[in-house]
């Protein structure tokens, strides 16, 4: 069983925010049917797992403002366990998970009205579980039916995502350690895919995107990862210009680039790495020029990622480098686009770089947490988009703090476009690393896979 100490500590921290007479209800994810007699591989709800470390389906956590915790879980059933596997069961749960009490899930509807009675506020995650609000309302109806006997029904319902998101946004030492391990596994998977591509092409063999995808999955599971953190992107040639492309049957051709965006999940935590490499192990001149530009923009973003900086600072640093580079490579015509400052002001870079430079990373690959300081929510300023004339709202940006984890992932995607040198057509390049914010800057925990062009070529020759 997973070490429960960080989970008990998190429950205590959350309970202190519920109010003395508050109570929180947190379900895990439901099992989902894939087809007639098969379910999708179960994956727990991140909020529930964050507070319990319990990965079984069909479970609920109830947390009271005084810190008392109650788990509802599947009862022991030796016959079902023959088919579905071991169950912890409510008798063993208190000691194994450091909860105060545990009940069979079959008792949930009977016990919840009793637990909610005489509470002032009930907390649960809004808009995350279909039907949860209705379930809570049904329990409250049962409490209201006892008002004539002196029962008090909670008058307030509040969204638990607020305090939980703030807690999850700053990772503790345990979480960062798991994420380092996940990133190391994913880095080895990227190396495996790179080397397979070069080796098979040297041997004259047919290489497909799904071959590289298979190498990623093999390395993930070989090193103990439970799942991919998301559907792996393996995009050869022009497919790399499709941002959310999925590995398919397309051939990996000698002379083309391959973009792989893939990361594993380990013990509930995601990694997220993107590398772009020459399929045969050797960049062409135009490929190298565009790659070095994207890498330079990432270097600028990394330098801008530090405690006290804004979340938007890495993106702005990236855009400044890309804007000048697009002019230098004549992908943008200076006679039309003007200076780098003009390119930024007019967003002329947008057809080639249309996404942000990063996102939060944690239990979810696009992790929870506001990108705006809580004290500044509601504040905004407005400006006109110089291209469309539409009004754009500029919201305040989050201030980075030690322990926050985010991705840094600039890219350029050049589709066949009039006025753009043909040598750059169909080149899609993205470089992504996972960064832990520290007091002095940031730690890139995913650099177990090379990022410099020379190092990638040396790796693929090996």
- Give the whole-angstrom CA distance, residue 188 versus residue 191: 5
For 31, 249, 364, the CA distances from 227, given in Å and listed in that order, are 16, 22, 12
Q: Give the integer Cα–Cα distance in Å for 241 and 3.
A: 43
Classify residue 74 by its DSSP letter: P
Cβ atoms of 264 and 182 within 8 Å: the answer is: yes
Coil/strand/helix, residue 92: coil
Residue 211 a catalytic site member: no
Which value, in Å, is the radius of gyration of the alpha carbons in the chain?
25
> 426: phi > 0 → left, psi -120 to 50 → alpha, else beta; which?
left
190 included as an active-site residue: no
Confirm whether 265 is a catalytic residue.
Answer: no
- Pick the catalytic residue: 432, 433, 434, 457? 432
**Catalytic residue of the set 175, 215, 267, 272:** 272
Active-site residue, selected from the candidate residues 355, 356, 395, 415: 355
Mark whether 355 is an active-site residue.
Answer: yes
Question: Which entry of 245, 269, 353, 413 is annotated as an active-site residue?
Answer: 413
Residues 6+ away with beta carbon under 8 Å from 177:
none
Catalytic residue among 34, 36, 148, 244: 244
Closest alpha carbon to 78 in 70, 90, 69, 87 = 87
CA distance 247 to 260: 9
Q: What CA–CA distance (Å, rounded) separates 410 from 431?
A: 6
Catalytic position from the list 245, 359, 433, 434: 359
Catalytic residue of the set 13, 80, 218, 366 = 366
Q: Is 430 a catalytic residue?
A: yes
Q: Is 366 a catalytic residue?
A: yes
| Residue 261 is a catalytic residue | yes
* Residues with a known catalytic role: 37, 244, 261, 272, 355, 359, 366, 409, 413, 430, 432
């Amino acid at each position: 069983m997973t070490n429960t100490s960080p989970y008990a500590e998190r429950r205590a921290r959350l309970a202190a925010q519920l109010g003395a007479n508050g109570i929180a209800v947190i379900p895990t994810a439901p099992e989902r049917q894939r087809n007639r007699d098969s379910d999708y591989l179960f994956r727990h709800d991140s909020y529930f797992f964050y507070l319990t470390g319990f990965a079984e389906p069909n479970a609920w956590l109830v947390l009271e403002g005084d810190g008392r915790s109650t788990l509802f879980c599947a009862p022991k059933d030796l016959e079902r366990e023959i088919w579905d596997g071991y169950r912890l069961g409510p008798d063993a749960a208190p000691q194994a998970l450091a909860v105060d009490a545990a009940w069979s899930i079959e008792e949930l509807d009977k016990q919840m009205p009793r637990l909610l009675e005489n509470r002032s506020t009930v907390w649960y995650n809004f808009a995350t579980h279909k039907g949860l609000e209705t379930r809570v309302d049904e329990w409250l109806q049962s409490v209201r039916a006892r008002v004539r006997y002196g029962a008090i029904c909670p008058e307030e319902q509040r969204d638990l995502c607020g305090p939980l998101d703030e807690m999850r946004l700053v990772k503790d030492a345990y979480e960062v350690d798991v994420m380092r391990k996940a990133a190391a596994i994913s880095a080895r998977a990227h190396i495996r895919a790179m080397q397979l591509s070069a080796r098979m092409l040297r041997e004259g063999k047919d290489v497909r995107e799904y071959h590289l995808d298979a190498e990623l999955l093999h390395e993930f599971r070989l090193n103990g990862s439970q799942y991919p953190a998301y559907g792996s992107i393996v995009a050869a040639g022009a497919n790399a210009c499709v941002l959310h492309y999925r590995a398919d049957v397309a051939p990996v051709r000698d002379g083309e680039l391959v973009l792989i965006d893939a990361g594993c999940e380990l013990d509930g935590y995601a990694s997220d790495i993107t590398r772009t490499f020459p399929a045969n192990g050797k960049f062409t001149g135009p490929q190298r020029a565009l790659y070095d530009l994207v890498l330079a923009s990432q270097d600028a973003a990394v330098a801008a990622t530090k405690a006290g900086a804004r979340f938007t600072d890495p993106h702005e640093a990236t855009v400044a480098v890309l804007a000048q580079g697009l002019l230098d490579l004549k992908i943008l015509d200076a006679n039309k686009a003007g200076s780098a400052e003009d390119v930024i002001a007019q967003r002329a870079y947008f057809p080639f770089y249309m996404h942000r430079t990063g996102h939060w990373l944690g239990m979810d690959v696009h992790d929870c947490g506001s990108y705006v300081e809580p004290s500044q929510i509601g504040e905004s300023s407005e400006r006109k988009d110089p291209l469309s004339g539409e009004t754009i709202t500029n919201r305040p940006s989050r201030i980075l703090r030690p322990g926050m984890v985010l991705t840094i992932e600039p890219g350029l995607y050049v589709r066949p476009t009039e006025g753009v040198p043909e040598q750059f057509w169909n080149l899609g390049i993205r470089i992504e690393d996972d960064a832990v914010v520290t007091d002095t800057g940031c730690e890139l925990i995913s650099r177990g896979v090379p990022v410099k062009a020379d190092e990638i070529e040396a790796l693929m020759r090996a």
